[in-house]
Chain A
Amino acid sequence: MEIFRNDELVNKIYSLFYIIVIIFIIRLIDIQIIKYSYFYELSEKNRTRVIPRNGPRGNIITSDGIVVARNKISYSIMYFPSDTTNYDYLKKLSYLLSKIVGLNSEKLLTVILQAQNTHKPIKLVDRIGLEIIKSVYEIKNIFPELEIIEENIRDYPFNNYLSHVIGYVGKIEEKDIRKYILKGYSLDSIVGKNGVELMYEDELRGKNGGLFIEVDNRGRLVKVLGYEPWSKGNDVYLTVNWNVQKAAEDALRKLPYKRGAAVACEADSGRIIAYAVKPGIDLNNFVLKSSDTSYSYNVDEFNIPIQGLYPPASTFKIITTIAALESQKISKDRKFFCPGFYDAGSRVFKCWEKRGHGWVSMIDGLAKSCDVYYYNVADIVGPYEIENIAKRFRLDQKTGIDMPYEKTPIIFGPKKRIETKGYWYRGDTLNMSIGQGEIVVTPISMLLVIMAIANGGKFYKPYYVEKIVDERGNVLKENYPIVTGSLTLKPHTWDVLYKALREVVINGTGKACDVNGIEVYGKTGTAQNPHGKDHAWFVAFAKKDGKKTIAVSVIIEHGEHGSSAAAPVASKLIQAYYNVRENNSIKMEIIE
């Protein structure tokens, strides 16, 4: 019987078994000891999940403490990918959810599948109402992947007031993804898109935190492991005075013209007090529509004060006057006769007043904005002098305001002309003297001119952010006036100029801006526009004892007359600044 016992063979089989056991042990050492840290990390990643909380953005506050951009709580539906789903399940989920929130079920499914593939939580619906929250909680029992989270969203209480300064927020655009990812943003972050929101994104941005939770294999919460605190971004304080801003916005809004802008700043610092643009941007519109990327924002985002280029028209006569006085070729008392036209040899140039102004001195010339007076002056002073003064007033460069896409004004004087085209006619000189021709300026560059006149020749960089304050009230950054340059004129020039500018408001074309108890100096302008009605200009500065001087620049597109369209806006603005009761005696005469 023993012959059927093959112990040798059994031993061989067992030897093979031991070899396999040793191979298993080697593999076990590989997995449990050599690759331990790799697998340990994976197991930690498995069990922990972060519910991100976006830290709220900082507020934007005006100098008089009005919050113009803040946060409010909103609820969103999040989808947390889980491991135990299949296509049919997700299809059912998206169908039910689409019934509740009223969105396209296939679109939802695509988003969910995307989340499932990348294994990252994704926001399905933004800003849901109470009814939807209730319904979602009902189906949440069947679909544990759904979660309702609380978020901060941007709110602009004054909607389109001050909109070009505040700017707005939105989802990261494709072209900016790289930039923001490097700064640690997540793809669905909300970032500043314009104005302060864009320029001060780094300051306003809240510090994101999150809730670290332990989850089981279905993604269900087991316990909270801890949380990383989130904190609010820093507040940005503007130099803008809400009172003045509101007055300017309201005044612009009352006008029948579609577009216009009024900018005001302190003449001795460059602090912007008001920055009103019509039409404003409906800021909350961006917030409300930000979840739907296909929505096209058909809004007028044109930032008139820094981007609008208009001929300065009669406001440029200030420059011509200064050129006349500085060149000492014309005394202030020298009079020219205005018959309503000026014979320039080959061509006859008309004064805007067809009847003529009669004998006009320098002060009357500016006050009544007599074109013929300036034609005479231009012929005597010459184009180089005028161009020189314009350049000294920096009408050929940007103001350097901290806003994106500022345009450069263009002084197309004889020097430039010689460089490019090679000829300069007498008619060009005459046109230039009254601010027509090929000169174009931005309202903010004209503001800088009138500011420099108001403060005796200093140029400040206009700024609108006063300071940045963190959550605890520490001032992180404070802006101070920056003098970017200065010019000196003869004292006599200043005297005559101030007298003339005051005369404009008292007796001349700027009567609409005469405010009781306040010394207002200004100049109207009506820019000829070949494409339609003329643009209305008004630049001014106002003084009151014990108060700061304010400089104002107003442009009303197609406003026809500076005296009737632009000056009243400046008047309202100045009144608001000095807290003067509304002066009802403003005459709405059309005079220029």
Chain B
Amino acid sequence: MIDQVIVERKKNIDLILIFCVYFIVLMSFVAVNSAVSMLDYKDRILKTQIFALIIGSSMMVFVWFFDYDILNEYAAHLYIFSLISLLLVLFFGIADKGSKSWFRLPFFSIQPSEFARVFLLVFISSYLSKRPFMLKDFIGILKVFLLIVPFFVLMIKQPDFSGILITVFPLAVLFFVAGIDVKYFYIFGFYILVALLVPFLGVMIKIKPELLNNDIIEMFYSITYFNINMIIFLISFFIIFLVSWIIIRKLNPLIELGYVLFIYTLFALGYVTGVFIKDQIKEYQYKRIESFIYPEKDPRGAGYNIIQARVALGSGGFSGKGIFKGSQTRLGFIPERHTDFIVSVVGEEMGFIGVILLIISYVIIINRFKVIAFSSRDLFGYYLCISFGGLFMGYFFVNIGMILGFFPVAGVPLPFLSYGGSNLVASFLIIGIIQSVFKRRISIA
């Protein structure tokens, strides 16, 4: 097998991947340029983008030359570094659109969560590749879980919900592939479900305050705060669990107390997490969810953004209005047009052809991740490729899904296309890591 490796190692770089990445970067350059053409600070934006492109490209080459084993070696350091940066941004960061997630540096700003996400995936990939049986038992899962939780807590504190959403997806893919017992997946799912129940109730009540007229809903809503009611609720719920267990045990003596306690703990944890999340939701995020549920309710308010973005996309037609000729783009009707809604700009100016080329490029990139994963020389490389593949899928689903109307508005960029230095550099970092895995691959074929 080793011989084979030596024989097959011919190409050092995956040209298809590089080609697709730079094709998107080119498209991004045109689209961002068009999107900001009416802004006063367009020069600054374009300079930042070019600067980030240079930094990102050199970072990619740098990582590509080094053996990615170095990441395995320093994974723990990267993990701690990421945690500290996320902690520091809560104290020294600057707020943008309600989220305190930026470090202001003399010439540019850095969004540490973009890098932290990459490093977390690197760390978890490394951690799991070193301990292949980790996810087979509950204690192992709990350990991995506890390693991830601090990240999420810090991200919720910013708050950066879309950031968490985009991080959860690759982690889930990774766990799945790493052979997590499906049973634990269900347990985890149950926890998430309970945790989401409380914010969901909060959102529904924000949208339809008349729901509180219902006594039962009112009662449930009154215990979604950190107060004495919540403690009373948890204790009384515990007693109900115990009592019902005592009754059920008469019928089926095989059910152990530990089982019941476990389910109760899971429920209580999910519930407390839910209340915690609900407290972090900002007003504009309620608006976004509301506009996703009822986009026509307030076409001049929060729903306006997504409607205008879709008008831009639709009005491009098959071949688009022409580069720099999109009225929705140029006249500023598309919100966040150079970042989260950039696909609308592509859709308006380059039409269906442009968007299809974009989608194909992404599919090829994500597909290359899989191919490289299959040819990787070790489990760490395999996990890296799978988790980053999941990450890119997440970006793709959330960003394009939002513009097409499958997702509520979430501040998730599309790698390589959206304006944003940190995201671009982090994305190039990922490509560098993947290329490094490719360079040191084995070939089975």
Contacts and interface: CB of A to CB of B under 8 A. Distances in A.
Contacts, number: 125
Contact of B331 (A6, A33, A215): A215
A24 to B, nearest CB: 6
Contacts of B356: 25, 28
A222 B331 contact: yes
Interface in B164-204: 173, 176-179
A24 B310 CA distance: 14
B322 interface: no
Interface stretch (A39-47, A226-234, A351-359): A39-47
A35 interface: yes
Nearest to A214: B331
A10 interface: yes
Given A25-B356, A28-B356, A40 B314 contact: yes
A83 B307 CA distance: 13
Contacts of B300: 83, 116, 119
Contacts of B316: 32
A42 B311 contact: yes
Interface stretch (A15-23, A157-165, A248-256, A287-295): A15-23
Contacts of A29: 352
25 contacts: A1-B379, A4-B132, A5-B382, A7-B374, A20-B397, A24-B404, A24-B406, A27-B404, A28-B352, A32-B316, A32-B318, A32-B355, A36-B317, A43-B327, A44-B315, A46-B308, A46-B311, A46-B331, A47-B327, A47-B333, A83-B300, A83-B304, A119-B300, A216-B38, A217-B333
Given A31-B404, A39-B310, A83-B304, A9 B176 contact: yes
Given A5-B379, A14-B367, A44 B327 contact: yes
B91 to A, nearest CB: 32
Given A218-B332, A222-B331, A32 B312 contact: no
A14 B374 CA distance: 13
A425 interface: no
Contacts of A20: 397
B401 A14 contact: no
B443 to A, nearest CB: 14
B411 interface: no
A38 interface: yes
A47 B311 CA distance: 12
B5 interface: no
Which 6 A-B residue pairings sit nearest by Cβ, starting from the closest?
A: A39-B314, A43-B315, A217-B332, A216-B331, A36-B317, A32-B352
Nearest to B343: A28
B60 interface: no
Given A14-B367, A27-B405, A215-B331, A32 B311 contact: no
A109 to B, nearest CB: 17
Interface string A206-246: 00000000111110001000000000000000000000000
Contacts of B331: 46-47, 214-217, 222
Interface in B377-414: 378-379, 382, 386, 389-390, 393, 396-397, 400-401, 404-406
Interface in A490-544: none
Which range holds the interface residue count of chain A?
Answer: 35 or more
Given A4-B382, A32-B316, 16 more contacts: A1-B132, A4-B132, A5-B374, A9-B176, A13-B177, A18-B363, A21-B359, A31-B313, A32-B318, A32-B347, A38-B314, A39-B315, A40-B314, A43-B312, A44-B315, A46-B311
Contacts of A217: 308, 331-333
A33 B318 contact: yes
Nearest to A27: B404
A46 B328 contact: yes
A21 B363 contact: yes
B206 interface: no
B24 interface: no
Nearest to A215: B331
B154 interface: no
A296 B415 CA distance: 66
B373 interface: yes
Interface in A135-183: none
Given A4-B379, A31-B310, A33-B352, A13 B176 contact: yes
Contact of B317 (A24, A32, A47): A32
Given A25-B356, A217-B333, A4 B404 contact: no
B370 interface: yes
Task: Kindly name the residue among B315, B396, B406 whose own CB sees the greatest number of chain A CB atoms within 10 A.
Answer: B315
A218 to B, nearest CB: 7
B351 interface: yes
Contacts of A27: 404-406
Interface in B330-367: 331-333, 347-348, 351-352, 355-356, 359, 363, 366-367
Contacts of B314: 31-32, 35-36, 38-40, 42-43
A15 to B, nearest CB: 11
Task: Kindly name the residue among A18, A32, A214, A215 whose own CB sees the greatest number of chain B CB atoms within 10 A.
Answer: A32
A79 B308 CA distance: 23
A83 B334 CA distance: 12
Nearest to B172: A13
Given A43-B312, A43-B328, A46-B327, A6 B317 contact: no
Nearest to A217: B332
Nearest to A83: B300
Contacts of A46: 308, 311, 327-328, 331, 333
Nearest to A2: B379
Contacts of B313: 28, 31-32, 39
B401 A10 contact: no
Contacts of B393: 17
A20 B401 CA distance: 10
A32 B405 CA distance: 13
A11 B173 CA distance: 12
A119 B333 CA distance: 16
A197 to B, nearest CB: 39
A437 to B, nearest CB: 71
Contacts of A4: 129, 132, 178-179, 379, 382
A18 B132 CA distance: 29
A20 B398 CA distance: 12
A24 B315 contact: no
Contacts of A83: 300, 304
B318 to A, nearest CB: 6
Nearest to A32: B352
Contacts of A13: 173, 176-177, 390
Nearest to B397: A20
Interface string B259-284: 00000000000000000000000000
A393 B56 CA distance: 104
Contact of A24 (B132, B304, B367, B400): B400
Nearest to B366: A17
Nearest to A42: B311
Contacts of B317: 32-33, 36, 40
Contacts of A36: 314-315, 317-318
A39 B333 contact: no
Contacts of B327: 43-44, 46-47, 214
Contacts of A11: 370
Nearest to A222: B331
Interface in A35-85: 35-36, 38-40, 42-44, 46-47, 83
A565 B11 CA distance: 119
A27 B402 CA distance: 12
A1 B378 CA distance: 8
A28 B355 contact: yes
A43 B325 CA distance: 12
Contacts of B396: 21
Nearest to B334: A217
Contact of A40 (B129, B315, B352, B363): B315
